[in-house]
Structure 1
């Protein structure tokens, strides 16, 4: 019997593989005092991989990944991830080596709340084409902006 289901890529394993091999990164990490720095490490039919750096206080807005599934792993420092649960944003701090997998409808905000720079590796499948940014008001997500690949990043 032939299976018609495709084997899913473990995106957290992909992120961990790239995180474990900084010598393969096309350039050394940089930190930008104005905004988060990011570079695409790899892209293909199954997934794409991004390297991000975060100075203390830098973070994202509340956002989704435009229908892509994903994962990220912390390479240096610590990151706080917040997800909407009911009427609140529930935080969780991820230290070096910790990561998170998420599906195509996942909404979160990631911030460096620590006092040291942070580095993370992110993997997405399919490749990111858009990201929706949200406001969180009274337990409700309201679309603030839809950002398109090639335009916003």
Structure 2
């Protein structure tokens, strides 16, 4: 007796071979689209948001082949510190509130405020700090590709030295 005769013909069960499932993103544009879709789906992320007075709060929202998505909340004054994301690149957006990104540029350190809806793409090796410099809490979503396996922190002296070298 064969497995097919026991289990039946697998092609007779169309739900086992669905072709209407959404594909996973594989490009920067696809990752940005996924981040925008998550941001627009408030019912998906808003019930998960928590705030922690001691540190930024975070929760993994989704994983896929070669990426992961994180939800973060920030109380006023909370910061990531200057860091990079190891071998990961990423896409992020602010869902509510405002965050300030401080990054190393050719001219030194630059900063920009990020409000809801804007999408920020960053490459591997991007050295920056995210901080909630506003008076209200903030929420953001971050996609990393490949998934985040390291986040290297850089104190002020190291940032100056790294800037001089590059």
TM bracket (short chain): 0.7 to 0.9
- C-alpha distance in 2, partners of 1:88/1:105? 16
Segment drifting more, 40-49 vs 129-138: 129-138
1:2-151 alignment, distance < 5 Å: 8-10=27-29, 11-25=31-45, 27-86=47-106, 88-137=108-157, 139-141=160-162
- C-alpha distance in 2, partners of 1:98/1:8? 18
Query: Which structure has greater helix proportion?
Result: 2
- TM-score, normalised via structure 2 length: 0.75
Query: Which structure has greater strand proportion?
Result: 1
Query: Root-mean-square deviation (CA), in Å?
Result: 2.0
- TM-score, normalised via structure 1 length: 0.81
Contact 1:87-1:140 at 8 Å conserved across structures: no
- C-alpha distance in 2, partners of 1:65/1:52? 15
Number of residue equivalences: 136
- Structure 1 gaps of 5+ residues are 1-6, 143-153
Shift of the 90–26 alpha-carbon distance from structure 1 to 2, 3 Å rule, reads: closer
- Structure 2 gaps of 5+ residues are 1-25
- C-alpha distance in 2, partners of 1:77/1:125? 25
Contact 1:81-1:110 at 8 Å conserved across structures: yes
Segment drifting more, 22-31 vs 35-44: 22-31
Contact 1:53-1:120 at 8 Å conserved across structures: yes
State the shift of 1:105 in Å: 1.3
- Alignment partner of 2:48: what SS? coil
